[in-house]
Structure 1
Amino acid sequence: MTFVWTEKELSAEQSDAVREERSIFLVACPGSGKTRTLTYKIAYELSRLDSNRKFVVALTYTHRAADEIHERIEGLGVDTSQLWIGTIHSFCLEWILKPYAIYEPAIAHGFRIIDSHEQEKLLEELCRTQRGITYWDCDYYFTDQGYVLGCRDQSKHARLQAIFALYFQQLADNRQIDFELILYYASRLIRSQPQIAKVLANIFQWVLIDEYQDTKRIQYEIVAAIVRAGAERTQLFVVGDPNQAIFGSLGGFAMSVTELQRLCGVPIKDRALTENYRSTDRLIRYFSNFTVQATVIHGAGPDRAFSSTISYNTVVGRDEVEAELVRIIRLSAAQGVRPEQICVLAPWWILLAGVTRRLAGALPEFHFDGPGMVPFSRDQENFWYRLSRIALTQASPDQHVRRMRWANEVIRDLGNEGLNARGMTAKQLLRESNSVLLAETDGLQYLRLYFDALMVRLGIDWQSHRLLNEHHRAFFDSSAAKVERLRREGSSYIGEIDFFRKVFQHRSGITVNTIHGVKGAEFDVVIAFGLLQGMVPHFSEEDEADGGVTSAKKLLYVVGSRARKHLYLISEQQRRRGGGRGAYPSTEILAEYVFDYDAV
């Protein structure tokens, strides 16, 4: 039966986009219900599949977004058995590399994906072979022609190329690949073996891309090859906001509809979501000043007329920032704002790490959430990370659907590794998991004991399987290193099992994150500091033709559009640049913006 909805659920703009039967390119302004529209589109197309051999594929920027959308669709009562949703890396791994690796000599004899901790350790070791190069210079991404260095200092490129020659050789010698190589080999396979795209086009009736403005060219080309092979049997739904394209240093960019249409070889309709249901009119007027691509935004939320506070502090000193953050947080709480609706932002995580610890000490009545506070490795492709999600969540009605899905993923992983999991069900796995009762209070030791006990209860000798052993070692090595680093920074409680369990709970405290990390989220109160020239924009972008103005505008647009009601901006004084170059000045594009700010 075709999925239907009422006028109260979707606006006319949203409904038109969902019902469109051909490929569509949807530009969505902030707060326009992009995720809701994407969710309903997936639900609608799932309900219209005319064969149990067809799939709907949705590509999201993060695993968290994939989980959220998946759960929303299940909440709508739509069968998701013919939905595949996840990141482009997971898609390439599952649908291209694993089934077709035999056709790519570099990975034909097996491979293992290294996690971020292993990659960092290896690159740090190799950086010692070249003077003046650090791990932070080693950002890179792939195109179909090879890798591109992210470091903007051209004088370092020859040394970096020497490092990457050793890096790729060492990976090859150990039959390892990193996340960028997943895309590279998937691209090589889909170009050298045209039958792959044809097979996938016959399976996928719809391919949906969320946050298209963060997509890399190699990713566009992989998807386009499938759509092209489908010759209009495979439809494309692309949604995002070009004004929020802030991952350019990692290769992400907002492809135009004209170029995407040419690449895919199919007609694509251009549509827009223009109604903002999140922010007040005053906030919309404020952040609209920072658009880099003309976008129509209309306030449409119930609180659009609310009297927002928008402040900009340029007099507070670096050593006074934390006291100012505490003051604003207490002010917000006194106004009735719940902790989970408060967000503290900065452009770099290094600015937040110590601040988070000290805020927690100054505000003991509040809990703080943030990716930098996660006490173990979050490698989504690691078997033991996947299993940790079940270990650290309690059996409860509100977690049941999620835990069942996770259990099915674990069973599938066991089967992929050659273990006999054919007769195992998700209910059985969860029943055995719930029977593992441990008194251990150390988080990592708890997980070690839990993994061992569950495998025994399931009758699985995991230690006899090479890949599971490698994943186990990688998970605990990287997790131990992360816990130790956080403890050195003063978070003595970070390794406790109670803290581990908070990782997979719904947001319950004040969010602390970078501008890049919070994109897609929304809060009643947003407090941003570190809005300084050299940070916003990044100092490496100041050499661009416009002096980094475009980059700074996009970052400020993202900051401002996260807020529902109140926005507090801080360009602190006396934060020193390295090399004796004096203090960072305020972000120029922000300092020049004339606005009737509020005094707080």
Structure 2
Amino acid sequence: MVFVWEDGDLNDEQIDAIEHEGSVFLAACPGSGKTRALTYKIALELSKLDSKRHWVIAITYTHRAAEEISERIERLGVATDRLWIGTIHSFCLDWILRPYAIYHEKLQNGFRVVDQHETEVILDELCGQSPHQVRALDCRYYYTTAGCQLENANPNRRLAALSVLNQYWQHLEENRLIDFEMILSCAYDLIVSQPSISILLASLFRYILVDEYQDTKEIQYNIIARIVNASGGNTRIFIVGDPNQAIYGSLGGYAMTRVDFAALAGVDIVEKSLASNYRSSERIVDYFSAYSVVPANIDAVGAVREFPSLISFEQEVNQQELDDEIVRLIRYNIETLGIAPHEICVVGPQWIQLAAVTRRLVAALPEYSFDGPGMAPFSRDQDNIWFKVSRLALTRPDPQIFIRRTRWAREVLDHLGSAGVDVSKISPRDLLRICNGIDITVEDGLEYLELFFAELLLVLDVDLELFPALQEHYVAFFERSRVQIQRLENAGVQGVSSVAMFRRVFATRTGITVSTIHGVKGAEFDTVIAFALLEGMVPHFSDPNAAESASKLLYVVASRPRKNLHLIAEAGRINGIGIPYEATQVLAEHDFAYDAFNEAG
């Protein structure tokens, strides 16, 4: 039965995009219901599949987005057994690398993906051995179809960085390892060298949907386009994003035009748009629209359209007073304006600033809890099977999340099967029953997981030593988790190793969120407080397109809140060569009637 939505679920713009039979290139402004449109499009195309061998593929920028969309589709009552959804890296692993590794020289004898922590450890060691002054930061890179590109290396250190990278790649190859960037490179190699892969995948995929296209890399566009091209018009594409939020340029992300992608994929694509903002007040919309790089007419049409938003910009506060200012703003929003703590987000440009600020906020506001991706007390490598098992271990049976836990169980069984474990007689519900029956009564989070995993393996009759891939994931999960716990404890976070803290990772958001600008993209809150909006940080000092990047970063920050926005460019920070940071130029030059309420609260 074809999926039908209720009247009022979608506006005319969304319906026009969703009902289009061909391929669509959809530009969606912040708060325009982009995720809703994507969700309903997926549900519609799933309901129209006429063969059990066909799939709908949805590629999201983050695992969080994939999880949110999956849950929304499940709530619509549409079966998701023919939906694959995840990041481009997970897509390449599941559909290209694992099935066809035998055809790639680097992968044919087996491989394991190293996480960011392992990469940093290896690079730090190699940089320490280098006779040149080179840092792991200088060695960050990404691939294009033409080869390796360094991210932001100091020009004087490029040759030294490449020398270290060559040693790094050699180390990975000798140990049958690949990193996240090599996932894309190897997938592209296979797609190019084995055209039959694209032809086979194209015969399976009826629709490929891509979220956040503006942050997609050139090599990713090419992987997707080759599959679409091989379909002869049978695989259609639905691409959604906002070029004004293209903030991953230093990592190789960019907003390809409709014309260029159509030519690359060999398909006709119509361009459509969503220009109605349902999230924010008119004042917030007017403010962030001023930072548009690509012209966009955005209309505030939501329930808070006429809300009298507070928008403040503070340049006088000193770095030493920053914590007090953030605490004041948090208290004012909660105690005077009635904003719920979980609807407040504190944003900084980098985790290095956030870690110190978070430690002091936790101490200054003991009555409130704090949440954030960087505050998870264990490894969140989404492609590690033990992270997937931890989701079942740390969530309790609850009818409201039964479908979600069933999906997680299916993912665990799929991963076990790909590692060689015979799971043919175990259903996702069987696995849930097994997990629900495991009773561990210890207070330490890592000890809890170790005992839980051991009990699960015992019940499944799986000897970890007989499955090297599972064992390697196990070691990596716990090593990374111990490092993460130590980092948080060093930052002053209390109770980080407890089971209760571990369970909070998968619980509904309850505390004040702490995030980087890049990490907050896609989220929304009633109030956003952003600090360190300083030239050299926003944008990064090595960014060759500084003004444009600053505008896009500010656009993202300012479009997150529904109601209130507080911007801080604190004085007193000094860069590495002793020069004081100044407010981000694009921000300082924005002529706006900011609210001043220093005496409030």
For 2:140, the equivalent position in structure 1 comes to 139
**Separation in 2, partners of 1:498, 1:302:** 36
Other-structure match for 1:515: 517
Alignment map for 1:487-526 (pairs within 5 Å): 487-526=489-528
Q: Deviations over 1:55-104 (max 9, x none)?
A: 10000001111011011001000011111100010111111111111111
Which AA in structure 2 matches 1:285?
Answer: D
Please state whether the residue corresponding to 1:254 is helix, strand or coil: coil
**CA-CA distance at 1:403 after TM superposition:** 0.8
Residues of 2 paired with 1:189 and 1:225: CA distance? 11
1:159 aligned onto 2:156: no
Matched with 1:580 is 578
CA contact (8 A) 1:314 1:571 kept: yes
Q: Which has the larger displacement, 401-410 or 215-224?
A: 401-410
Give 1:95's aligned residue: 95
C-alpha distance in structure 2 between counterparts of 1:281 and 1:487, whole Å: 42
SS in 1 for 2:505: helix
Partner of 1:597: 594
> How far apart are 1:151 and its partner, in Å?
2.3
Write the distance in 2 (CA, Å) between the matches of 1:228 and 1:424: 38
Please give the alpha-carbon distance, in whole angstroms, between the structure 1 residues aligned to 2:493 and 2:334.
24
1:436-515 alignment to 2 at 5 Å? 436-515=438-517
Distance 2:103 2:457 in 1: 34
1:407 CA displacement: 0.7
Question: Which amino acid in 1 is paired with 2:530?
Answer: A
Equivalent-residue separation in structure 1 for 2:479 and 2:313 (angstroms): 43
Residues of 1 paired with 2:211 and 2:153: CA distance? 28
Shift of 1:570: 0.5
Q: CA deviation at 1:354?
A: 1.4
Structure 2, gaps ≥5 residues long: none
Are 2:400 and 1:398 aligned? yes
Amino acid of the structure 2 residue aligned with 1:110: G
Is residue 41 of structure 1 aligned with residue 38 of structure 2? Answer: no
SS in 2 for 1:419: coil
- Which one-letter code corresponds to 2:344 in the other structure? I
SS at match of 1:531: coil
What is the root-mean-square deviation of aligned Cα atoms in Å?
Answer: 1.0
1:382-401 Cα shifts (integer Å, max 9, x gaps): 11111111111111112211
Distance in 2, matches of 1:206 and 1:124, equals 42
Quote the residue 2:281 is aligned against: 280
1:129–1:163 CA contact under 8 A, matched in 2: no
1:550–1:471 CA distance, 2 compared to 1 (3 A):
same
1:138 shift after superposition? 2.0
Alpha-carbon distance in structure 2 between the residues aligned to 1:214 and 1:175: 29
State how far apart, in whole Å, the 2-side matches of 1:303 and 1:418 are: 53
1:82 counterpart residue number: 82
| Cα separation, 2, equivalents of 1:405 and 1:534 | 43
8 Å Cα contact 2:143/2:184 also seen in 1: yes
Hey, what's the Cα distance between the residues in 2 that align with 1:560 and 1:126? 40
What percent identity do the matched residue pairs reach?
A: 52
Q: Does the aligned pair in 1 maintain the 2:373–2:515 contact within 8 Å?
A: yes
Moved more, 450-459 or 158-167: 450-459
User: Residue 31 of structure 2 corresponds to which residue in structure 1?
Assistant: 31
Write the distance in 1 (CA, Å) between the matches of 2:98 and 2:539. 40
Tell me which of 412, 418, 431 is aligned to 1:410.
Answer: 412
Deviation (angstroms), 1:129: 2.4
Match of 1:124 in 2: 124
8 Å contact kept, 1:553–1:589? yes
Aligned residue number for residue 11 of structure 2:
11
Q: Identify the residue that residue 532 of structure 1 maps to in structure 2.
A: 534
Give, in whole Å, the separation in 2 of the partners of 1:265 and 1:142: 23
Structure 1 segment 307-456 matched on structure 2, within 5 A: 307-334=308-335, 335-456=337-458
Structure 1 position 469, deviation (Å): 1.2
2:565 corresponds in structure 1 to: 567
Residue 110 of structure 1: aligned partner: 110
1:57 and 2:54 are equivalent in the alignment:
no
Cα offset, 1:41, TM superposition: 0.2
How far apart in 2 are the matches of 1:530 and 1:464?
A: 50
CA distance in 1, matches of 2:346, 2:263: 42
Please say which of residues 402-411 and 127-136 is displaced more in the overlay: 127-136
**Structure 2 counterpart SS, 1:520:** coil
Following TM superposition, by how much is the alpha carbon of 1:346 offset from its aligned partner in structure 2, in angstroms? 0.8
**Equivalent residue letter for 2:477:** F
Unpaired runs of 5+ residues, structure 1, are none
Instruction: Give me the whole-angstrom Cα distance separating, in 2, the residues matched to 1:144 and 1:577.
Output: 36
Whether the aligned pair in 1 keeps the contact of 2:345 and 2:527 (CA below 8 Å) is yes
- Give the aligned partner of residue 169 of structure 1: 170
Q: Shift in Å at residue 450 of structure 1?
A: 0.9
Query: CA offsets per residue over residues 12-52 of structure 1, 9 Å max, x none?
Result: 00011110100000000000000000000000111111111
- What is the distance in 2 between the residues matched to 1:529 and 1:160? 31
Is residue 279–residue 562 contact of structure 2 (8 Å, CA) maintained in 1?
A: yes
State how far apart, in whole Å, the 1-side matches of 2:584 and 2:204 are: 49
Structure 2 match to 1:189 = 190
> Number of residue pairs matched?
595
State the distance in 2 between where 1:80 and 1:466 align: 31
Does 238-247 or 488-497 show the bigger shift? 488-497
**Counterpart position of 2:550:** 552
Deviations 1:93-129 (A, max 9, x none): 1111111111111211111111222111111111112
Residues 220-259 of structure 1: pairs in structure 2 closer than 5 A: 220-259=221-260
**Cα-to-partner distance string for 1:155-179 (whole Å, 9 max, x where unaligned):** 1110011111111111111111111
Runs of 4+ aligned residues of structure 1 deviating over 2 Å after TM superposition are: none
TM-score by length of 1: 0.98
Letter matched to residue 290 of structure 1: Y
CA distance in 1, matches of 2:186, 2:565: 44
Do the aligned residues in 2 keep the contact of 1:63 with 1:87 (CA within 8 Å)?
Answer: yes
Within 2, Cα distance between the matches of 1:225 and 1:493? 49
AA partner of residue 258 (structure 2): V
SS of 1:365's equivalent in the other structure is: coil
Are the counterparts in 2 of residues 28 and 239 from structure 1 also a CA contact under 8 Å?
A: yes
CA separation in 1, counterparts of 2:145 and 2:576?
37
Q: Is the 8 A contact 2:137 2:153 kept in 1?
A: no
Determine if contact 1:526/1:567 at 8 Å carries over to the other structure: yes
Q: Which residue of 2 aligns with 1:299?
A: 300
1:492 deviation in Å?
3.7
Q: Give how far 1:362 is off.
A: 1.2
Q: 1:481, CA displacement in angstroms?
A: 1.1
1:98 maps to a residue whose letter is R
